[in-house]
């Protein structure tokens, strides 16, 4: 029975009621099974019925459900922080727990600002990020992103942010230009923007190592982030990497930025951090940033009631041990290659598929009306929306989005299944998503 009291995401949506989880599947109240090919939103990395995590939640609840962090720390938070730091990029040494990805980005922005205040550079306040990025739905995180559709209602409330080009080789690499040269060219837009604003005013550059929801598993070309790091260092600008969606093993390494051989000043994580079993996120930073505050005012001017929640941290600790102890990053790489192979076998020459991209179990399919010209479908055909609906009818949860190219034009499907997905389930995933694409395009003409 659907309640008349819940305020839903979409008032015109007719949603099934989820009853229970079974591995990579969600089962609704009437018994229909849905293969979760997107982990919800790249969240459910361990599927929906992991007994180890369930047990950790129960055991922690029986000991202590909540203790406010203005009075206490807790053992799960302390142990989890040590584990994250032990596996983090070089120089990342402090962890600030929150309850979501948006909160993690908000905390990162406030931390960056306070850092500059503490070291005597309060004029630094401007953020630079990239078009076709998404960093969260709270006002600060929304302002710092380049998701046109999500920003549109709230533009007058948002802080000023500069947006430079994404690293989007499929669309923007020029004829005769190598991948490396293309990456250097778009990375250099950061230096141009810093100089235009005035380096003394720029606080941070914020980017997803692999862009998720807005652009569909868009990975950088080699050398891009190396150049970004050089520019940030040259002008004293903090590099904040948003790994809320692409981190915690999703791309085949524990932190996505490991594959760029790059260390950020601040990195945000969530989604896979709790695997959907509890709401949790975190903002991690270097000792340089932490020490500026610790030796200055001593107080980070930020906080939420549920940060460092003991049950959330206990659940996350169990998730992290599953990922690390069971070497699921290796499995992600292996299953990711299988998924990539199957997608290319089925859709690589499809007349309406322009690009198949991504890393690990984080893959995107960009749809086009004309493959040779890379022409997108007309927006009013809502190809992404039709695919989502069609896939659900066929028993598949995937993450299609419109606005891939510029916030208005373009459609893609994001695929981010649980790390435990089997070979047979990958075949099922590819069969259904392919069928959904064919039926949706045929039915939208």
The count of C-alpha atoms lying within 13 angstroms of the C-alpha of 297, restricted to the half-sphere facing its C-beta, is: 13
Q: Is beta strand 33-36 parallel, antiparallel or unpaired with respect to 396-397?
A: parallel
CATH number belonging to the domain at 54-325, selected among 1.10.10.10, 3.40.640.10, 3.30.559.10, 3.20.20.370? 3.40.640.10
The gap between the terminal CA atoms of the chain, to the nearest Å, is 35
CA distance 89 to 36: 30
Least confident of 145-154, 168-177, 240-249, 386-395: 145-154
**Gap between the Cα atoms of 168 and 177, Å rounded:** 13
Distance CA 8, CA 5 (A): 9
- Of 63, 97, 19, which Cα lies nearest the Cα of 268? 97
Q: Which residue has the higher pLDDT, 327 or 12?
A: 327
**DSSP states along 197-254:** H-GGGEEEEEE-SSB-TTTTSBPPPTTHHHHHHHHHHHHT-EEEEE-TTTTTTTTSSS
- Provide the total of helices (H) and of strands (E) in the chain, helices listed first: 14, 15
Fold adopted by 18-49+328-443: 3.90.1150
The CA-CA-CA angle for residues 7, 8, 14, to 5°, reads 130
Q: What three-state secondary structure class fits 266?
A: strand
Distance between CA atoms of residues 375 and 352, nearest Å: 10
CA dist., res. 13 & res. 8, Å (int):
8
Q: What is the DSSP letter of 173?
A: P
Confidence of residue 9 (pLDDT cuts 50, 70, 90): confident
- Supply the pLDDT for residue 262: 87
pLDDT bin (cut points 50, 70, 90) of residue 445 is: low
Residue 335 pLDDT: 98
Give dist(CA 203, CA 123) in Å, integer: 9
Q: How confident is the model at residue 2 (pLDDT cuts 50, 70, 90)?
A: low
Average pLDDT over residues 1-8: 79
In the predicted model, what is the mean pLDDT of residues 35-63? 98
**Residue 2 CB coordination number (10 Å):** 10
The string over 370-387, giving b where at least 16 C-beta atoms fall within 10 Å of a residue's C-beta and e elsewhere, is eeeeeebbeeebbbbebb
Do the beta carbons of residue 188 and residue 224 sit within 8 Å?
no
Would you state the pLDDT for residue 1?
A: 57
Q: What is the pTM of this model?
A: 0.97
- Return left, alpha or beta for 266; rule: phi > 0 is left, psi -120 to 50 is alpha, else beta: beta
Q: Give the distance between the most distant pair of CA atoms in the chain.
A: 64
Q: What pLDDT score was predicted for residue 52?
A: 98
Nearest to 226 by CA among 183, 167, 170, 270: 183
- CB contact set of 289 (below 8 Å; sequence gap of 6+): 94, 111, 112, 115, 238, 265, 266
Burial class (CB in 10 A: 0-12, 13-18, 19+), 300: middle
Q: Which two tokens stand for residue 49?
A: 């019925």
How far apart CA 143 and CA 134 sit, in angstroms, is: 10
DSSP 219-234: PPPTTHHHHHHHHHHH
Write down the residue that tokens 């569909």 correspond to.
Answer: 216
Identify the residue whose tokens are 């202590």.
Answer: 64
Which residue's entry shows tokens 């107080």?
299
Place 375 in a pLDDT band, splitting at 50, 70 and 90: very high
**DSSP label of 370:** B
Strand order in the sheet with 411-415: 353-359, 362-367, 411-415, 399-402
Lowest mean pLDDT among 3-17, 123-137, 276-290, 410-424: 3-17
Neighbours of 91 (CB within 10 A): 12
**What are the sequence ranges of the domains in the chain?**
18-49+328-443, 54-325
Q: Check residue 61 and give its pLDDT.
A: 98
Could you give the 3-state DSSP secondary structure of residue 61? Answer: helix
Give me the mean pLDDT over the 46-50 stretch. 98
**Chain-wide mean pLDDT for the chain?**
96
């Amino acid at each position: 029975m659907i309640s008349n009291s819940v305020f839903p995401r979409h008032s015109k949506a007719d949603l099934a009621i989820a009853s229970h989880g079974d591995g990579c599947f969600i089962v609704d109240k009437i018994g229909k099974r849905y293969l979760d090919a997107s982990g919800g939103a790249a969240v459910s990395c361990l599927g929906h019925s992991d007994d180890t995590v369930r047990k950790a939640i129960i055991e922690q609840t029986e000991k202590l459900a909540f203790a406010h962090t203005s009075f206490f720390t807790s053992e799960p938070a302390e142990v989890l922080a040590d584990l994250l730091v032990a596996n983090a990029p070089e120089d990342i040494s402090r962890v600030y727990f929150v309850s979501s990805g948006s909160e993690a980005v908000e905390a990162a922005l406030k931390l960056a600002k306070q850092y500059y205040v503490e070291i005597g550079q309060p004029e630094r306040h401007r953020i630079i990020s990239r078009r076709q990025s998404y960093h969260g739905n709270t006002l600060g995180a929304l302002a710092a992103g380049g998701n046109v559709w999500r920003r549109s209602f709230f533009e007058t409330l948002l802080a000023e942010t500069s947006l430079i080009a994404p690293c989007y080789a499929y669309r923007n690499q020029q004829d005769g230009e190598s991948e490396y040269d293309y990456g250097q060219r778009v990375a250099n837009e950061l230096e141009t923007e810093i100089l235009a604003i005035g380096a003394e005013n720029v606080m941070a550059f914020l980017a997803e190592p692999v862009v998720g929801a807005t652009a569909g598993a868009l990975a950088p070309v080699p050398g891009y982030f190396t150049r970004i790091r050089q520019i940030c260092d040259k002008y004293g600008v903090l590099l904040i990497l948003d790994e809320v969606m692409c981190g915690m093993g999703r791309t085949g390494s524990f932190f996505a930025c490991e594959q760029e051989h790059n260390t950020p000043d601040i990195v945000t994580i969530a989604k896979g951090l709790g695997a959907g079993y509890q709401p949790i996120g975190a903002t991690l930073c270097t000792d340089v940033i932490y020490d500026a505050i610790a030796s200055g005012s001593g107080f980070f001017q930020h906080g939420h009631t549920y940060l460092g929640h003991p049950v959330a941290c206990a659940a996350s600790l169990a998730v992290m041990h599953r990922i690390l102890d069971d070497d699921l990053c290796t499995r992600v790489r292996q299953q990711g290659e299988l998924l990539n192979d199957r997608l290319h076998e089925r859709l690589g020459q499809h007349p309406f598929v322009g690009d198949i991209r991504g890393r690990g179990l984080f893959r995107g399919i960009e749809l086009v009306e004309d493959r040779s010209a890379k022409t997108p479908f007309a927006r009013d055909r809502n190809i992404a929306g039709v695919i989502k609906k069609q896939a659900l009818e066929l028993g598949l949860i995937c993450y299609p989005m419109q606005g891939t190219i510029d916030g208005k034009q373009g459609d893609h499907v994001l695929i981010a299944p649980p790390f435990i997905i089997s070979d047979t389930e990958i075949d099922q995933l590819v069969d259904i998503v392919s069928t959904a694409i064919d039926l949706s395009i045929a039915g939208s003409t």
